[in-house]
Amino acid sequence: MDGTVPAGLLASVRERRPLVHHITNSVTINDCANITICTGAAPVMAEAPEEVAEMVAAAGALVLNIGTLSAVQVEAMLIAGRRANELGIPVVVDPVGAGATTFRTGTVQRLLEALDVAVLKGNAGEIGVLAGTGGSVRGVDSGGVAGDPVETARECARVTGTVVAMTGEVDIVVDGKRAYLVRNGDPAMDRLSGTGCMAASMVGAFAAVADDYAVSSAAALAAFGRAGERAAMAGARGPYSFRTALFDELAGLEPRDLAEHARIEEL
Amino acid sequence: MDGTVPAGLLASVRERRPLVHHITNSVTINDCANITICTGAAPVMAEAPEEVAEMVAAAGALVLNIGTLSAVQVEAMLIAGRRANELGIPVVVDPVGAGATTFRTGTVQRLLEALDVAVLKGNAGEIGVLAGTGGSVRGVDSGGVAGDPVETARECARVTGTVVAMTGEVDIVVDGKRAYLVRNGDPAMDRLSGTGCMAASMVGAFAAVADDYAVSSAAALAAFGRAGERAAMAGARGPYSFRTALFDELAGLEPRDLAEHARIEEL
Amino acid sequence: MDGTVPAGLLASVRERRPLVHHITNSVTINDCANITICTGAAPVMAEAPEEVAEMVAAAGALVLNIGTLSAVQVEAMLIAGRRANELGIPVVVDPVGAGATTFRTGTVQRLLEALDVAVLKGNAGEIGVLAGTGGSVRGVDSGGVAGDPVETARECARVTGTVVAMTGEVDIVVDGKRAYLVRNGDPAMDRLSGTGCMAASMVGAFAAVADDYAVSSAAALAAFGRAGERAAMAGARGPYSFRTALFDELAGLEPRDLAEHARIEEL
């Protein structure tokens, strides 16, 4: 994919500043709010069943993250998701820890059955579990998949009917037909809590200004990865300095830099 | 207002180290705890209905922030607020996202009816909504007010019977009679999640050592703004570095620096 | 205690990367996740009663922190704790604010009665309250103990049947027989929110690779304190820069540095 595509989407996010409604976990909720702002969009976190249908109606995208899910949160996700579907607002699901417990796996399956999900963004283990082809998840960390990652992602897309964005050293984005490999990023991003959640927020922000969610997901992951590359070049003293630099670099990321350095390959 | 007034209040906070009891949102709860410490006060976050009446009795101020409210949290706010009222402990309300959903607007109105609120601290849109004169709120962001901001704040103070602290490029603090404009601050503070919530924590910490809540609110906002000015001078590489500097500068803010640089104008 | 002992345990944590299951407060939950990663272990936060028994079965340690407890969270703590006990997984309890409210004190006593707790890690005030010998707690801050801190810790260990890790300027770790003083650390650690919670996460990570929980707790506190000493040497501009440096230094802490600089004295 030509770098001008992600660059154009990044410019659109900043111009239109879409509201990204999150129902998310309490571990990385602040990271998600700040990464959304640094991307150029506007975050709102709201999960009371009393208000989510009204809140999502003003949003450009809805991000559902099950990192610290509870029964009442699942109820709110279903209410918000149904309303988003009615209004044509894209829904992004981050199946944090699917495969680690029956409650998590079952909740994701319930969301996938009840809602028209635009993008399912997970790590390799989570996607493998949801594809039904075998994946290993320990806590919220991926233990990898049984077979070829691209085929696993394709199978997950086939089974779920969504765009699948599988993050890893190389990110893989597939829908029923196409497959993109995103080679941006830095290994230091794996040594932080929350980078997976942040990636989902960015996928939401980009989906809010796009029609093609496979393209917008690949673009979002390239932008996040490019910010990570620039943060690594800035010379952090450790993972927490790197984290600060990651937010700073994303906020300052120029579309023309992304146009030049995005590395998205279509298979 | 002479700069020695906010300087004296800052010195009092540090000397008396009041406990500031928060019932607040999960997005910025850590920011609020750390900003309270950097101001010189002691934060405690507790929201179980079983314990809030007992906890607030030890506090110098109570801060109620509806950023991620739930029905049970509202119940806890009412219990804690009533007990604070009985004990003469000032209650600060931050109406995050009032106007964005009926649940948020209704909750703030319920708090205002049930409790004797000392200070209502919101952005322009939220205050306009609560004044009933028209305000625009998108998610948790202000879309501005219909008419003159100072008149909007005055009307809100008249309707609610509270001190109103309306944050923005220039902060406006009014009660039934007086109006203060606070011109400290830096535009970078708007590019972070949580600065509004942090401002409410500081308003709480300053109220805990004051009798005149209009004066203490203006002083708190001047101190926060001055820390932002110093953070900007420190030369941050981006918004997250700026955030680190904001906490650092507030912790190191000398009362004499604030005495010299506070810019609080009485209208 | 010879410095090679904590150094060996730190190396074990990094080699085995145990999963540390937290049921914890919303204020410092992100800090706990990141400090666990920087220590070399893998955090997972899960508190739905529906899933905690299944999640804890994959963990090397369970950390229960009552900083923002709720009735449903206590239920989850009991379910997870009982399962951990069945499986021989060490349970660490952080009694945040015990003594400040009846609900907190009562919850800790309930956990101690229902569960076989491996380590009780608290500040002096909390431990004094739980020892029944007198302790003062204001919000979540220690106001100190009535008598000698070592005797207070010993009495708490006797009453509760746990290893007691009492943090402070000098950390005290006792069981029924032994007592260790840990002299690592820096005063700047007290000017941050969450260092007590982070210490509990580290105590959990070290317990996951040890059989002797008094030794592993002293080792964890020495490692955390050593990271703080190195952070202070790095020359932070204020408490938030120090915080960044603390995470960075812990992530980069070499076992041989800890072997040389750990200051653990057996009484």
Chain A: closest CA distance from residue B210 (Å): 31
CB B252 within 8 A of CB B226: no
pLDDT at site B49: 97
Rounded average pLDDT over C236-249: 95
Classified as helix, coil or strand, B153 is helix
Q: How confident is the model at residue C215 (pLDDT cuts 50, 70, 90)?
A: very high
Residue A121 has phi, psi (to 5 degrees) of: -115, 115
Interface touch A239/C37, C-beta < 8 Å: yes
Q: How confident is the model at residue C146 (pLDDT cuts 50, 70, 90)?
A: confident
CB C122 within 8 A of CB C141: no
pLDDT at site B69: 94
How far apart CA B19 and CA A227 sit, in angstroms, is 40
Give the nearest partner residue to B193 out of A30, A46, A48, using CB atoms: A30
Chain A: closest CA distance from residue B178 (Å): 34
Classified as helix, coil or strand, C230 is helix
Rounded average pLDDT over B186-209: 96
Write out chain B residues lying below 8 Å of A73, CB-based: none
Which of C240, C243, C244 is best to mutate for the B interface (most B CBs within 10 A)? C240
CB B149 within 8 A of CB B105: no
A194 is in an annotated binding site: yes
Query: Which residue in the block uniquely carries the two structure tokens 């106007």?
Result: B99
Binding site for ATP: residue ranges of B?
121, 167
Interface touch B239/A248, C-beta < 8 Å: yes
pLDDT at site A176: 84
Q: Which amino acid is at C172?
A: I
> In chain B, pLDDT over 70 holds for what percent of residues?
100
pLDDT at site C8: 98
CB B65 within 8 A of CB B94: yes
pLDDT at site C33: 97
Radius of gyration over every alpha carbon of chain B, rounded to an integer in angstroms: 17
pLDDT at site B159: 96
Which residues are CB-neighbours of A262 under 8 A, at least 6 positions away? A1, A3, A5, A6, A7, A184, A219, A222, A223, A226
How many CA atoms lie less than 13 Å away from A251 in the CB half-sphere? 22
CA angle C36, A122, A30 (to 5 degrees): 50
Q: How confident is the model at residue C235 (pLDDT cuts 50, 70, 90)?
A: confident
Q: Which amino acid is at B133?
A: T
How far apart CA C141 and CA B45 sit, in angstroms, is 12
pLDDT tens digits for range C14-23: 999 999 999 9
- Paired with A145 in beta bridges are A135
> Which CA distances in Å does C96 have to B6, C27, C123?
33, 12, 8
Interface touch B247/C237, C-beta < 8 Å: no
Rounded average pLDDT over B229-233: 96
Residue A39 CA to chain centroid, in angstroms?
A: 13
Which residues are CB-neighbours of B118 under 8 A, at least 6 positions away? B90, B91, B92, B162, B163, B207, B213
Q: How confident is the model at residue B66 (pLDDT cuts 50, 70, 90)?
A: very high
pLDDT tens digits for range C103-117: 999 999 999 999 999
CB B93 within 8 A of CB B121: yes
Chain A / chain C CB contacts < 8 angstroms: 95
Interface touch B240/A34, C-beta < 8 Å: yes
Q: Which residues of chain A have pLDDT under 50?
A: none
How far apart CA B29 and CA B46 sit, in angstroms, is 11
Is the predicted pLDDT of residue B50 greater than 90, yes or no?
yes
Which residues are CB-neighbours of B86 under 8 A, at least 6 positions away? none
Q: How confident is the model at residue C25 (pLDDT cuts 50, 70, 90)?
A: very high
User: Which segments within B160-261 are labelled E, that is strand?
Assistant: 163-167, 171-174, 179-182
Q: Which domains does chain B have, with CATH numbers?
A: 4-266 (3.40.1190.20)
User: Which segments within B81-159 are labelled E, that is strand?
Assistant: 91-94, 119-123, 135-138, 141-145
Q: Residue A267 burial by CB count (10 A; 0-12/13-18/19+): exposed, middle or buried?
A: exposed
DSSP A146: S
User: For residues A182-199, b (16+ Cβ closer than 10 Å) or e, as one string?
Assistant: bebbbebbbbbbbbbbbb
Classified as helix, coil or strand, B196 is helix
Is the predicted pLDDT of residue C236 greater than 90, yes or no?
no
Instruction: Output the six-digit token pair for B222.
Output: 């001047």
- From the list C174, C182, C213, C248, the residue with the least C-alpha distance to C60 is C213
Interface touch A139/C19, C-beta < 8 Å: yes
Is the predicted pLDDT of residue B236 greater than 90, yes or no?
no
pLDDT at site B147: 86
Residue C69 CA to chain centroid, in angstroms?
A: 17
